[in-house]
Amino acid sequence: AQKITQTQPGMFVQEKEAVTLDCTYDTSDPSYGLFWYKQPSSGEMIFLIYQGSYDQQNATEGRYSLNFQKARKSANLVISASQLGDSAMYFCAMSPLTRHLFFGTGTRLTVIP
């Protein structure tokens, strides 16, 4: 069984500061993908970043980086230089070989001016 845990229901960050959103996962699959999605109030899920379980280096996409610690089964999202437009729900998700996604409960990020 797959499980994604996001322990931070809400986070606040000052504009231009960095913030880390936590995610831990549990799976018995030897191979999997890890994703982060952003969901604004409009409802659409916006892909941010992807990490493969066999990737040696942490993924980066612009201001987003994924701190992947395989032994700890954690995949934290780091957002650098926060902007007001970053205020949204953030979901961590995992995909086993079947390719559909298992999502966590999300973290609501609020960027303070």
Partner 1 sequence: ETGVTQSPTHLIKTRGQQVTLRCSSQSGHNTVSWYQQALGQGPQFIFQYYREEENGRGNFPPRFSGLQFPNYSSELNVNALELDDSALYLCAGTSGSRSSYNEQFFGPGTRLTVL
Selected from 27, 65, 82, 95, the binder of partner 1 by CB under 8 A is 95
Least gap, CB of 97 to partner 1 (angstroms): 5
Q: What would the DSSP string read from start to end of the chain?
A: --EEE---SEEEEETTS-EEE--EEE---SS-EEEEEEE-TT---EEEEEEETT-SS--EETTEEEEEETTTTEEEEEE-S--GGG-EEEEEEEE-TT---EE---EEEEEE-
Selected from 18, 47, 83, 112, the binder of partner 1 by CB under 8 A is 47
Nearer to partner 1, 35 or 68 (CB): 35
Would you count residue 106 as binding partner 1 (CB under 8 A)?
yes
- As a whole number of angstroms, the distance between CA 69 and CA 13 comes to 24
Least gap, CB of 79 to partner 1 (angstroms): 19
Least gap, CB of 32 to partner 1 (angstroms): 8
> Where along the sequence are the contacts to partner 1 (CB under 8 A)?
4, 32-33, 35, 37, 42-47, 50, 52, 91, 93, 95, 97-106
